[in-house]
Each structure stands twice: as C-alpha cells, then as structure tokens.
Amino acid sequence: MSLKQIDQLLNPRSVAVIGASNQPNRPGNAVMRNLLQGNFAGPIMPVTPKYQAVNGVLAYRSVEALPEVPDLAIICTRAARVPALIQQLGKKGTRSVIVIAAGLDELHTAQGTNLQEQMLAIARHWGVRLLGPNCLGLFVPGIGLNASYAHTQALPGKVAFVSQSSAVCVTILDWAKRRQIGFSHFIALGDGADVDFDELIDYLGRDPKTRAILLYIDNIRDGRAFMSAARAASSGKPILVIKAGNSAEVSAAISRQPADQRGADLVYDAAFRRAGMLRVQDLRDLFAAVETLAYGRELRGEQLLILGNGNGPAAMAADALVQRGGHLAPLSEETRARLRPLIPSGGRAANPVNLLGDASPELYRAALQVLLDSGESDNILVMHAPSALHPGEVYAEAVIDVWQSKRGRKPNLLVNWMGEESAYPARQRFAEGGIASFRTPEGAVAAFMHRVQYRRNQKLLSETPDSVSELIPHHPETARDIIRQALETGNDTFGGASAMALVQPYGLHAAPADEAGTSDYQGDALSLRIQVRPDPVFGPVIALGEAGSVWDWQRNAVVALPPLNMALARYLVIQALAEGKIRERHQPVERHSLCLLLSQVSQLVVDNPELAELDLNPVVMRSGVYTALDVSIRLAPAEQALPLAIRPYPKELEQRVELKGGRSVLLRPIRPEDEARQQAFDRALSKEDRYNRYFGEVSEFSHEQMARVTQIDYDREMAFIATERDERGEEVTLGVVQAQMDPDNQEAEFGIAIRSDLKGQGLGWILMSKMIDYCRQSGTRYLAGCTMPQNRGMANLARSLGFQVRYDPEAEVIDMRLEL
C-alpha cells in the first residue's frame, strides 16, 4: 500500500500541526504560518494545550480532541514526545506524519532501545508512514501545501526536488524563487528513517505533473530498492543527483551511518550511471541543471551554436564545450551568406557568431532570426557582454521577442548575460519569458553538456548487447561443490589450485598452479587486475584496472555493478581507457576478449553469493586469450552475503515444455540480447493480431522502444518467451507474455502474443500458466489485463484460467482479472 500512502503524504486533504505555537522562532509557529500563507484548501488544525487559537485558527487540546482524522500530521514538539504522539495519531487513524525533531536515535528508553526505534515500531504497528525525523518538511505548490518551517514559499513548477539536507533545501528555495523557477514537489527527507528515496522516486516517476527529478544524497540505505526505482523512473524522465561525501574522510565526517555501512563514492558513481541518472558535482552545477530542466526543451541533437558580441566570451564557451566532449554546430554556406550583410567588418558569420561589442539590440534580433529561420541548429547559446549603448534588458527583450514569435519547431535556447548588477534585470526578463539564463559562459555550457551526457546515458541503457551467453561455460554445480567443501572445512580464504578450479567452470583461463608464480610474460605488455569486492550499499562490484604492487581499487580502477552483459562490459573497458586506469602501451587491449572475461566473472558472482571477494592478479594475454596468473578467493556463508543491487537473469525459471503436436519449446525469461528476435517476432504477427495486441494500428517498434521491452528489471517486471531452434540452429521466438508489477506488488498488468501460425497448439495457455505461477510465487495479489472485444480467443483463454472476464462499455474493452 506504499504508493497510496505516499500519495496521502504528498496530497493530503487535511493537516494537523502538533505542537503549534504563537511564539515566534518556534517550528510550530513557522509551520502554521507557512500552511496558512500557502493557500492550502483543506482544514488546518493546530493541536496545543497552551493556546485557544494559533495564528487566528481555533486550536485543539489533544489529538483525541480533533474533530476529524487528519490525512497528514506535522509533529513540531521536542523529540521525547514523538513516540507517544505517533501512538495517539495512529489510534486516531492518521497514516502520514512529518517529524521535525532531531536526535531521536541519541535518546534511549528504559528498555534500552532508542526513541527512533520505538517511534518506528509504533508507526509500523499502526501502518503510519513517517517523513523524517530531523526534517524541514515538504512543499506541494500545486495544491498550496507548504508543510515546512522554511523561510519562504516555493513556486509551482514541473521539477521535483528530494534532499537529505535541509540546508541545501533552503539554499535551492532562495535561488529558485529569485529565478522564478517552480517545483511540482519539494521534499526534505531528513534522516529518512522510514520514507526514503526509492518510494518517492517511484511516486514522482509516475506523477504526470513532474517532468524531471533532482536528488541531493548523503547516503542510501537500500541499494537494490533505490536502483529498481531509479531505473524505472529514469526511462521516462531525467533524474539528476548530487552526492555529498565524495572522499572517505568527508563521508566519515558528515554521515550518520556507521563506517561499515557507508558505500564507496566510486560505487555510487557506477550505480547512478547504471540507473540512467546523471550526477552533477556541486551546487553550481545543480542550479544550472534545475534551470535547463525547468525551461529547456527536449534535447534532439548534441551540437551547439553560439551567438554573442565578443570573441573572448565566445571562445571561453567554445573551449568549455570541447573540453567537456561537446561539438560546435556547423553553419551552411547559405546561412553564412544571410548573416554576412548583417555583421559589421571584423565580426564573424560562422560558429561562434560574433556581432562585435557595439552590436545593437536590432542586430541581435536580426541575426537570431536568421539562425532560427535556417532550422540548422537544435541548440543555441546567445551570449551578451555589458554594453554602454543600451541596458542589458533591452537586448534581452530583443531575444525574447524573436524567440516567442518563432512558430513551429523551436531549438533549445540558453542565454548567458554576463556581469552582475547590470545583467540582473535581463536575467529577470528571461526568467519571466521561460528561458534558461546563466551568469558565466562555462556555466551555460556545463548545463547544456549535462543534458547531452544524460542523453548519452539513456542511449547506453538501450544499447543491445552481443548475444554471447552460450560462449560462457556454465557449470555452477562444480563451483558450488568446491565452495561447500571449503566452507565446511573452514577454509574460507584460499588461492592456488583450489581457487583456479573454482573459476574454470565459467571458462576463465588461469595458469596452472605450478606455472602461476614463475610464468614469464613481456614486462611492457598490458597487465590487468580484476577484483570482486563487497560494497555495503550496492553489494558485490567488479573492479578493473592495471596490475601493480601498490593498488587501491578506489583510485586505480573503474567499477561496475553485476550482472554484466557484453554491452555493459564494453562500456566499463571504454571507461577504464578514457580515465587512464588502463593504458594501451605496446600491446592494445583486445576488447572483445576482455569483455567476455568480465562477463564470465559476472556470471561467477551471480551464481555464487558466497563469493565475498575474488582477485585475478595479474591478468595477461597468453596464446590469444586473457589468462589469470594468480587467483585468490575469500568466501562467506550465503546468509551473510550482500545481495546484488540489480536482480540478475533468473536462469532457474527456464523450462522445456511440449505443445499439443509434440513440438518441444523452451520457456525462459526475456534477455536484452533478444531484441533482434523480438523485433522479428513482432513483424511476423498478422495485421489482426497486431491490432488486437496494441489496440490499434501501430508502426514497427524503434530500437529504443524494443530495448525497453527486452531490457527489463526482473525485480518488478517479467516477460517469458517461448523459443525453438530453426533449421540454421538459431533461436526463434514463438510467443511472449509479459507482466508489469506496480511498486507495491499488489497488481500486475499482463499482455500476451502468440505467433499467428501457432494458434491452437496450447502455447497461449502454457505461457499464461507460467506467468500466473510466477506472479503467485512472487506474492502479487492480482493479475489483470484487457483486450479488444473482438478478441474472443483471449477472453475464452482467460476464463479457462479462472479470470473474471467482463466487458467495459465505457472503455469498449474486455477486462480480465485474477485474484492470486
């Protein structure tokens, strides 16, 4: 029921303020004032025995005395009273509470527990969800809700902000208000003892009023829940994150988590990339990101056109663009020819376009009009250095005029009005006109490149990996026998022949034990190191770098979260080369073989949770393959193992079945490598079957669309395909059934399609039965779907499997629903 309760927290119909006060500078006074000034439409009920009224609103002496059950309660009292108040609110029926007080984990009860543990136990008993403690509160400007003790209001907008730092919250609020940037939601998590990032990301990812999500993170408690929510949400909208505590020293100083629960910053970085998020490094970059997300249009291309009134600033912007991996947009000869008559002698009619320092507002207007009319650039940066001829806002109005009069497809527009006092009115005009503006050339380019990098990250997520799974030997039974014997004898750390015997069932090449220490290889040849290490937040990680006598994986390696496929392994190798963690000297990196080796290591990790640490050092190229000259291993009992942050391909769900005619087919979960097969299957469906499946005529799926079908999160969705081998020995898809679970795993929505020439052989019944069994074992409560009224075969199949089937005349569809 969590998303329903998150909705009640963020969309309450009534609010109670426990500990409301008429004393200035008290949280209970600030919260009441903010609620009243925010124009919240529902009842606001102060609770305090000290006053008859607070801020002119009739007060109630206790929670029990409230005339109705508040959807949301804000506790503004001292920490010692919080558990008892949650008990009273839970008994009253309130299910969402914000706790302002800090330090509950430092105050202890007579039973030896701390107040935070007591508070959480009481909340769980009553089904109450808590935001905080140590929490500033939250804003939902669209409904006039300011349930916080912040010093100012937030404007309505389409960007959501979630932060563990109250100080960062108020800083962002101040900045955004001056820039007239608004928010769909503005949430301070505080210590995040209950409601945490994952549930809020799930909610905001589905919220139609939220266009982008920004996160300020000190630490994450549940890496797997965070990754699952972030991967789902980032496929539909940008998620940007700033993470504090980049170094171990700073993390130790600011974090409230024990040292053995704090994850490495390098691993956080890998997790953010794997989830399709974009990390920014500081508040300046975050401000820039907010501005572009609030005002920017969807990025199409990655090239930038620069228009300004000076060579120096334009050169600074162009340098910053190239240094960050961006590209200047070329201008056609036709466009340059149209610009030349406008630009004075000494100016420049190519990118960057230079109008010279004495350019008039009319020249800005005319030049920008030419560039917009050409339609050659998807992204334009307009720059202006202060001029004695006209105030900066006059130039701003010329740009806004041309921009707003442009009809049809518009490029992405950013502006950089340099200066401080003289540029401020211009920046205000741009804010009013909905155009992202920046103080410096580098800031504008950084903001643009953030969006480019996000676009690249999304493309990486949808990259189809090579189909090489059959090239990875897979004999887990052999490895498990070695692990079991080692743990039974207490031999949990070992190398030599035993370690090499453990990795060889997965196709890893290791030098024979009698050669490992004496093997001779060229000293200037590439010598690699691959490690598997546990991270307390995200579980096992795979590190890749050059071998060396002094080696620190957090400094000398790049890391990735398993499971890896060939595309993800290739990205890790490219990253290692780009960051100089691997250097191609006299011997180039044989990338395909190295990616295969990383995939083999990943499969070893996936199959064997007892594998706490693995060290292949060094790894060299011998006889055309990468070979580990030494292997060392540390094991731990499975119950002590940290789970993978991303659920791997569930091979245990593979099953061979026979159709009515005796035809043998394999049922298995879908894999990212299935994209081409899935595209061929979809094309092979008859026009009628495609119409019934997609509720209308649809064109062929794009690569990006099909990647979303095949690259699924096994934690919250499942797709089973039926396959067989054709005469060439290649796998062919015969049918597919998929189900998408809601984040609470209450209901899954299914869809099914069978190849048009295979109907009547029982494949539909087999696939649906497989999905029903899977959902039931996963704890899903309901399986539901709908189909077109003319698709009687689907309706009859659903009835035979126990679904309730009914026609919905309003939607003109047949609804099918099965209680599991």
Specify if 415 maps to a domain.
Answer: yes
Determine the pLDDT at residue 136.
Answer: 96
CA pair distance 163, 699, nearest whole angstrom: 41
Q: Within this chain, do residues 349 and 266 fall inside the same structural domain, yes or no?
A: no
Range list of H helices, 529-645: 553-556, 566-578, 591-607
Coil, helix or strand at residue 108: strand
> What HEC string does 507-537 produce?
CCEECCHHHHCCCCCCCCCCCEEEEEEEECC
CB contact at 8 A, 733 and 680 = yes
| pLDDT tens readout for residues 596-614 | 999 999 999 999 999 999 9
Q: Within this chain, do residues 350 and 413 fall inside the same structural domain, yes or no?
A: yes
The last residue of a domain, from among 640, 663, 696: 640
Complete DSSP assignment for 8-60: HHHS-S-EEEET--SSTT-HHHHHHHHHHHTT--S-EEEE-SS-SEETTEE-B
- Mean pLDDT for the chain? 90
| pLDDT tens readout for residues 500-553 | 999 999 999 988 755 655 455 544 467 999 999 999 999 999 999 999 878 889
Q: Within this chain, do residues 289 and 304 fall inside the same structural domain, yes or no?
A: no
| pLDDT tens readout for residues 442-476 | 999 998 998 888 888 777 777 777 666 666 777 88
In the numeric block, which tokens belong to residue 440?
């410096």
| pLDDT tens readout for residues 38-86 | 989 999 999 999 999 999 999 999 999 999 999 999 999 999 999 999 9
Q: 594: Cβ–Cβ under 8 A, 6 or more apart, which residues?
A: 528, 569, 573, 626
Q: Within this chain, do residues 707 and 807 fall inside the same structural domain, yes or no?
A: yes
CB contact at 8 A, 547 and 527 = yes
CB contact at 8 A, 666 and 763 = no
Specify if 811 maps to a domain.
Answer: yes
Residue 86, sorted as left (phi over 0), alpha (psi -120 to 50) or beta, turns out to be: alpha
CB contact at 8 A, 217 and 255 = no
CA pair distance 146, 192, nearest whole angstrom: 19
What CATH number does residue 58 fall under? 3.40.50.720
What CATH number does residue 185 fall under? 3.40.50.261
What CATH number does residue 788 fall under? 3.40.630.30
Specify if 290 maps to a domain.
Answer: yes
pLDDT band, very low/low/confident/very high, at 259 (cuts 50, 70, 90) = low
Q: Within this chain, do residues 323 and 398 fall inside the same structural domain, yes or no?
A: yes
Q: Tell me whether the omega of the peptide bond preceding residue 133 falls within 30 degrees of 0, making it cis.
A: yes
Q: Tell me whether the omega of the peptide bond preceding residue 361 falls within 30 degrees of 0, making it cis.
A: no
Asked if the model's pLDDT at residue 254 lies above 60, the reply is no
CA pair distance 707, 721, nearest whole angstrom: 15
The last residue of a domain, from among 410, 439, 461: 461
Total structural domains within the chain: 5
CB contact at 8 A, 544 and 557 = yes
Q: Which one-letter amino acid corresponds to residue 243?
A: K
CB contact at 8 A, 769 and 667 = no
Specify if 675 maps to a domain.
Answer: yes
Asked if the model's pLDDT at residue 493 lies above 90, the reply is yes
Q: Which residue has the tokens 């801020």?
A: 55
CB contact at 8 A, 560 and 530 = no
Determine the pLDDT at residue 783.
Answer: 97
Q: Within this chain, do residues 684 and 789 fall inside the same structural domain, yes or no?
A: yes
CA pair distance 540, 267, nearest whole angstrom: 10
Q: Within this chain, do residues 681 and 747 fall inside the same structural domain, yes or no?
A: yes
In the numeric block, which tokens belong to residue 775?
């959902």
Backbone angles phi, psi at 361, to 5 degrees: -55, -35
| pLDDT tens readout for residues 267-301 | 999 999 999 998 988 888 887 877 777 776 777 88
Specify if 357 maps to a domain.
Answer: yes
Coil, helix or strand at residue 214: strand
In the numeric block, which tokens belong to residue 524?
């200037």
Coil, helix or strand at residue 681: helix
For residues 151-190, one letter each, b for 16 or more C-beta atoms within 10 angstroms of the residue's C-beta and e for the rest, the string is eebbbebbbbbbbbbbebbbbbbeebeebbbbbbbbbbbb
Specify if 684 maps to a domain.
Answer: yes
Determine the pLDDT at residue 1.
Answer: 47
Mean pLDDT of 747-766: 91
Higher pLDDT, 622 or 279: 279
Determine the pLDDT at residue 30.
Answer: 96
| pLDDT tens readout for residues 576-594 | 998 999 988 777 888 999 9
Domain that holds residue 216: 150-295
Neighbouring CB atoms inside 10 A of 471's CB total 12
Q: What single DSSP character describes residue 772?
A: H
pTM: 0.89
Neighbouring CB atoms inside 10 A of 621's CB total 20
User: Count H helices, E strands: the chain?
Assistant: 27, 36
Coil, helix or strand at residue 236: coil
Higher pLDDT, 806 or 408: 806
Q: Within this chain, do residues 475 and 592 fall inside the same structural domain, yes or no?
A: yes
CB contact at 8 A, 337 and 293 = no
Q: Within this chain, do residues 623 and 685 fall inside the same structural domain, yes or no?
A: no
Q: Using a CB cutoff of 8 Å and minimum separation of 24, what contacts does 47-52 make? A: 47/16, 47/17, 47/18, 47/19, 47/20, 48/18, 48/19, 48/20, 48/21, 50/21, 51/20, 51/21, 51/22
Determine the pLDDT at residue 247.
Answer: 60
CB contact at 8 A, 576 and 611 = no
What CATH number does residue 487 fall under? 3.30.470.20
Q: 176: Cβ–Cβ under 8 A, 6 or more apart, which residues?
A: 154, 155, 182, 183, 290
The last residue of a domain, from among 640, 671, 705: 640
DSSP3 helix / strand / coil % (the chain, rounded to 5): 40, 25, 35
> What HEC string does 358-426 produce?
CCCHHHHHHHHHHHHHHCCCCEEEEEECCCCCCCHHHHHHHHHHHHHHCCCCCCEEEEEECCCCCCHHH
Q: Within this chain, do residues 291 and 303 fall inside the same structural domain, yes or no?
A: no
Determine the pLDDT at residue 248.
Answer: 60
Neighbouring CB atoms inside 10 A of 33's CB total 15
Q: Within this chain, do residues 349 and 383 fall inside the same structural domain, yes or no?
A: yes
Residue 5, sorted as left (phi over 0), alpha (psi -120 to 50) or beta, turns out to be: alpha
| pLDDT tens readout for residues 306-363 | 999 999 999 999 999 999 999 999 999 999 999 999 999 999 999 999 999 999 999 9
Among 511, 548, 498, CA closest to 628: 511
Q: Within this chain, do residues 345 and 366 fall inside the same structural domain, yes or no?
A: yes
Specify if 646 maps to a domain.
Answer: no
Backbone angles phi, psi at 489, to 5 degrees: -95, 5
Determine the pLDDT at residue 519.
Answer: 56
Specify if 531 maps to a domain.
Answer: yes
pLDDT band, very low/low/confident/very high, at 252 (cuts 50, 70, 90) = low
